[in-house]
């Protein structure tokens, strides 16, 4: 169940670790790993929320500095900043997947 608490985060986010934590509270090992998975999801949610605020702020700043003429092309900053933000989101997702797999393996080993 400790392995499932980590690995099921991939498809169920915070719900499977919460269910496992509530069902298997008597096992300290399983409860510890489920709580660890919940804290990881809370951290991911916090970082994603900060990233969304940064994303919206960036879009509004780019729009504010764009020329107000009709049929104006998008500003060049849009084509520079948006791929960087996308790479940041994908990097965060890959980091999350690596952490989930590593902690799942450690839970399987009994660590």
Q: State residue 58's pLDDT score.
A: 85
Query: Do 34 and 104 meet the contact criterion of CB atoms below 8 Å apart?
Result: no
> In 10 A of CB 92, how many CB atoms?
14
Q: State residue 50's pLDDT score.
A: 92
Residue 105: domain span: 2-66+74-109
Query: Do 65 and 75 meet the contact criterion of CB atoms below 8 Å apart?
Result: yes
Q: State residue 111's pLDDT score.
A: 84
How many domains, the chain? 1
Mean pLDDT by groups of 10 residues along the chain of 111 residues? 89 89 90 92 92 88 78 78 88 92 91 84
């Amino acid at each position: 169940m400790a392995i499932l608490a980590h690995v099921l985060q991939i498809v169920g986010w915070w719900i499977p670790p919460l269910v496992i934590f509530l069902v298997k509270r008597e096992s300290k090992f399983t409860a510890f790993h489920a709580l660890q998975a919940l804290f990881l999801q809370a951290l991911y949610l916090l970082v994603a929320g900060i990233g969304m605020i940064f994303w919206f702020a960036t879009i509004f700043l780019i729009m504010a500095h764009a020329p107000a003429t009709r049929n104006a092309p998008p500003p060049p900053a849009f084509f520079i900043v948006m791929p960087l933000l996308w790479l940041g989101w994908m990097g965060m997702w890959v980091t999350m997947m690596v952490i989930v797999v590593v902690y799942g393996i450690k839970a399987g080993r009994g660590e």
